[in-house]
Amino acid sequence: MNTNMQHYIASTGNMEWNPLREEGVNTSGIYVKILRFDEQQQRPPSILLKFDAGAKYPYHNHPGGEEIFVMQGTCLVNDTLLHAGDYLYTPPGFKHAVTTSTGCELLFIVPQEVEILEK
Domain CATH code at residue 70: 2.60.120.10
Name the residue range of residue 79's domain: 29-116
For range 15-40, the mean pLDDT: 93
pLDDT digits (tens, 9 = 90+) for 59-69: 999 999 999 99
Cα–Cα distance for residue pair 60/104, rounded to 1 Å: 19
> How much is the pTM?
0.88
Q: Is residue 43 one of the residues assigned to a domain?
A: yes
Q: Is residue 5 one of the residues assigned to a domain?
A: no
Q: From the CB of residue 28, how many other CB atoms can be counted at a distance below 10 Å? A: 11
**Overall number of domains in the chain:** 1
The pLDDT of residue 5 is above 80: no
Nearest to 67 by CA among 79, 53, 77: 77
Q: Is residue 2 one of the residues assigned to a domain?
A: no
Q: Is residue 39 one of the residues assigned to a domain?
A: yes
Q: Is residue 64 one of the residues assigned to a domain?
A: yes
Q: Is residue 22 one of the residues assigned to a domain?
A: no
pLDDT-derived band at 49 (thresholds 50, 70, 90) equals very high
